[in-house]
Structure 1
Amino acid sequence: MTKARYFQLILILGSMTALGPFSIDMYLPGFSGIAADLNTTVAKVSMSLSSYFIGISAGQLLYGPLLDRFGRKRPLFIGLMVYILASLGCAFVTDIDTFIGLRFVQAVGSCAATVASLAMVRDLFPAKETPNVLSKLMLVVGLSPMLAPTAGGYVTTYFGWHTVFLILAAMGAFVLLATQLGLPDTHKPDTSISLKPKPIITNFISILKVPQFHTYAFTGAVAFSGLFTYVAASPIIFMDILKVDAETYGWIFAIMSVSFIGSSQLNSVLLRRFTSEQMIFTALISQSVISFIFLILAFNDLLGLYETIGMLFLFLACLGISNPNTAGLSLAPFSKNTGSASALMGATQLGIGALASFGVSLFVKDAITPMVVIMTSTTILALVILIFGKSKIKKTIVSSSDDAVMVH
């Protein structure tokens, strides 16, 4: 594979995975405007974030078997068309309940790109290279929380929040063209895979029973729910409690993404000297210490704007290290059922993320402490899952015996 082709694949796969984060982040500065236009509260608008997480979680389980049965590109095309139409619907909505419902549909469409990108990484690259490739994708994905809220803040200020969803529809169209024209269909349709409910559920259960999968998938998902907690709480924390405007909020979000991008790229360098297992454990221990300090500061009312930004910056840096490694080790044992395995991993991550964001909408009203309590609890739980789960893994697989072949 040439360097140019490698770069092209990373860019297209990165754009696929970035579509979801853009859909989550870009409309956040418009929460107040949406609440005013649709005659509701900011807390009710935040339910549209929870519905998006629920949709993308459920949709992952739908697309996993479809990607294994029909190949990667056909389900991807259909999903992106659903995403484009739902985005257009969000731009012209007139009531909050319809908006929440359309966000669910938009999520179901977008997660076709998310699941397909993970499966295609496993198709295109050897399993032992997966954590490194995923770290590179994080660079592309990491730009979305840097650019999306900042751009969303300016778009919302000058053109209104409706325009955000027109831009998202245009992005969906771009990703659709890029994937159809620039990617090979890396997986031939497999007619042996049934789409009946019972075999699909049996297949998911067989994947879930693999100790390496459930240990690292659940460790990663529970730890990563801290990011969803931050995303869901940030409009309330920064704009309502700490009183920053939409444009400033966008820039704060951009600063936070520097932490996530930087640490995910540092992960690529550190993998030359340390194993993924060592990286995950160290990141979770660090995240636990940071969470406890954050919690002490919150309980003692010592968190102003800069202190909150600083603690969140350190917290997100730990996630940038752990996430690509938990994802890589979760998928490593699989080759035949990669689509289903990546879908189950994604559904687990986003399902737990949806619960965390729902908790934010219930408890985070006029104080920072509930957000920090949720983040600390999930971090400790992730560490417990890792410690107990590793004791059941006889030997960690870093590449399956049926390794993917690099596509030229």
Structure 2
Amino acid sequence: MSHVVKRRPDGRLILLLGALAACGPISTDMYLPSLPSIAQSFAVGASAAQATLTSFMFGFSLGMLLYGPLSDTWGRRPVLLGGIALFTLASIGCVVSWSIDVLVAVRFLQALGAGAASVLARAIARDAHEPTDAARVLSMVAIVTAIGPLLAPLVGGQVLLFGGWRAVFVFLTLFGALCAALAFYRVPETWPKEKRKSAAVLKSFAVYGHLITDPVALGHVLCGGMAFASMFAYITATPFVYIDYFHVKPQHYGFLFGLNVVGIMLANFLNTRLIGRFGSLAIIKAAALVSCAASFAVALACLTGWGGLWSIVVCLFFVVGVVGLLSANCTTDLMHRYPHNAGAAAAVFGAMQLALGALASIAVGAFHDGSPRGMGTTIAVTGALCFVGRVLVVRWHGWPVRTVGTVKPAGDA
């Protein structure tokens, strides 16, 4: 299928994009209940097992940086298919890993492939929509994508119970193969050839230097990225905090995890209803305040022990719930600020988001002492930096974009 779609994606395409974008989240969330088992299997500590998550995050970020400019130059479809193929092959590598170092390496390659679906789903939405519609569509994609992470820990816990941690990666291999087949037959090209003629690969990569010096872009990265980092601090820490510290059974961990995915889905559903009335900027301002306040509440519960497990669970519901909402609106606003480099803009945002998530994972591992304190401290820092990003976005949002290389003013779409 090589024709170019000039109309907005229909509901079936949105469902498919959401499923494809779930490759990354499912690859992290499904194996979370297995982390203690992986550590035992290879006779390593918690921090070594958590390194498999950190390597995934770095691979995901690097993949996004590669795929954005490449898709601006060669089209969305071939880059998407190549990424999913790499994801599937690397999943097989995870199954046959014989040491923790090998597993860390192939998880990096798995993530390198998974990054394609995430960044290109955003770019495809931008190709066919105006800013308000694109934010709405991205929220719809996020709702679909969230179904995978909602079910993944539940399925992963059961697979772990009956087949061990390697069976989890067998499942991911089959999922990757199915995604590859669906993408080949159903995902159309949305980036016309005439728009690719002037987009050289090196120039597309050069746009990154301009983006990271734009205070609005930096604000979006901090606002959406640090909210995402708080979620990954939670993802990295809770298998040990919930299972080891609070003695939650691995098969029950998925239910607590699922509460937060439901929060993400609810927030994105609200976004589809409110974005047309209030616009992205107003929603970013409100969601960032919620993220910051809830992050400090999590830290208080973790550091003092007040309320025990359920106080942490309730506060994390709000921290994690607004992550998808902030991601959808920050990404959309940034891509429409750089309409001629939407793929690169989405890649910068996604890559920095994942890199910040990886750093948060490292921080949690470094501060791990068997208690929730390391998680609480890390989430407090990410919440504060999310608010700093909000300040930058609000302060500089009205400033024009300088034209550099292939970057053109936002009004020239």
Larger mean Cα displacement after TM superposition, 296-305 or 234-243: 296-305
The secondary structure found in structure 2 opposite 1:332 is helix
Give the distance between the partners of 1:316 and 1:127, measured in 2 at CA: 24
Is the 2:222–2:385 contact (alpha carbons within 8 Å) kept by the matching residues of 1?
no
The residue number in structure 2 matching 1:14 is 18
Say whether residues 1:318 and 2:342 are aligned partners: no
Residue 198 (structure 2) aligned to one of 168, 192, 197: 192
Change (3 A) 1:311 1:60: same
Is the aligned partner of 1:26 residue 2:35?
no
Do 2:218 and 2:389's aligned partners in 1 also have CA atoms closer than 8 Å? Answer: no
Distance apart, 1:402 and its partner CA = 5.6
Which residue matches 2:296?
A: 292
Partners of 1:395 and 1:269 in 2: CA distance: 28
Measured in 2, the distance between the counterparts of 1:191 and 1:106 equals 31
What are the Cα deviations for residues 51-79 of structure 1, in whole angstroms up to 9, with x where unaligned?
00011111111111211111111122221
**1:236-293 deviation line (CA, Å, top 9, x unaligned):** 1111111111101111111221111111111222224322211111122222222233
Contact 2:222 2:388 in 1 (8 A): no
2-side partners of 1:263 and 1:281: how far apart? 14
Q: Is the 8 A contact 1:212 1:396 kept in 2?
A: no
Is the partner of 2:396 in helix, strand or coil? coil
The equivalent residue for 2:366 is 362
1:66 is aligned to 2:70: yes
Q: Give the secondary structure class of the aligned counterpart of 2:282.
A: helix
Partner residue in 1 for 2:164: 160
| Conserved 8 A contact 1:79-1:111 | yes
Distance 1:202 1:319 in 2: 29
Matches within 5 A, 1:42-191: 42-189=46-193, 190-191=196-197
User: What is the CA deviation profile of residues 152-205 of structure 1, one whole-angstrom value per residue up to 9, with x for unaligned ones?
Assistant: 000110111111111111111111122221122111352433334xx3442212
User: What is the alpha-carbon distance in structure 2 between the residues aligned to residue 111 and residue 65 of structure 1?
Assistant: 13
1:344 pairs with 327, 344, 348, which one? 348
Report which stretch shifted further, 120-129 or 132-141: 120-129
Residue of structure 2 equivalent to 1:406: none
Assess if the C-alpha contact under 8 Å between 1:64 and 1:343 holds in 2: yes
Q: Is the Cα–Cα contact under 8 Å of residues 88 and 166 in structure 1 kept in the other structure?
A: yes
Q: Percent identity?
A: 30
What 5-or-longer segments of structure 2 have no aligned partner? 402-408
Structure 1's 149 and 73: CA in aligned 2 closer, same or farther, altered over 3 A?
A: same
| Alpha carbons of structure 1 residues 188 and 388: separation in structure 2 relative to 1, 3 Å | closer
| In structure 2, C-alpha distance between the alignment counterparts of 1:24 and 1:157, rounded to whole Å | 18
**SS of the residue aligned with 2:22?**
helix
Task: Measure, in 2, the Cα distance between the counterparts of 1:299 and 1:31.
Answer: 24
Contact 1:79 1:109 in 2 (8 A): yes
Give, in whole Å, the separation in 2 of the partners of 1:321 and 1:80: 25
Contact 1:127–1:400 (Cα < 8 Å) also in 2: no
Query: Can you list the C-alpha shifts for 1:197-231, whole angstroms capped at 9, x where unaligned?
Result: xx344221233344433322332112221111111
The count of residues paired between Structure 1 and Structure 2 equals 399
Using the alignment, how far apart are the partners of 2:309 and 2:385 within structure 1?
A: 28
Q: 1:120 to 1:272 in 2, by over 3 A?
A: closer
Measure, in 2, the Cα distance between the counterparts of 1:160 and 1:269: 42
Q: Normalising by the residue count of structure 2, what TM-score does the alignment of the two structures yield?
A: 0.91
Q: Distance in 1 between matches of 2:208 and 2:151?
A: 36
Match of 2:334 in 1: 330
- Aligned equivalents of 1:283 and 1:195: distance in 2? 35
Give 2:244's aligned residue: 240
| CA apart distance, 1:376 | 1.4
Name the TM-score, length of structure 1 as normaliser.
0.92
For 1:45, give the aligned amino acid. Answer: A
Q: Which amino acid aligns with 1:168?
A: L
In the TM superposition, residue 298 of structure 1 has moved relative to its aligned partner by: 2.7
**1:269 corresponds to:** 273
- Larger deviation: 136-145 or 21-30? 136-145
Secondary structure, aligned partner of 1:274:
helix
Single out whichever of 51-60 and 250-259 deviates more from structure 2: 250-259
With over 3 angstroms needed to count, the CA separation of the structure-2 counterparts of 1:160 and 1:349, relative to structure 1, is same
Q: 2-side partners of 1:314 and 1:389: how far apart?
A: 22
Superposed displacement of residue 232, structure 1: 0.8
Provide runs of 4+ in structure 1 moved above 4 Å: 399-403
Structure 1 SS opposite 2:248: coil
Please list, as runs of the form range in 1=range in 2, the aligned pairs for 1:209-288 lying within 5 A after superposition: 209-288=213-292
Shift of 1:22: 0.2
Alignment partners' CA distance in 2, 1:133 and 1:5? 9
The 8 Å contact of residues 213 and 329 in structure 1, kept in 2 or not, is answered as no
Contact 1:238–1:249 (Cα < 8 Å) also in 2: yes
Whether the 8 Å CA contact 1:216–1:327 is kept in 2: the answer is: yes
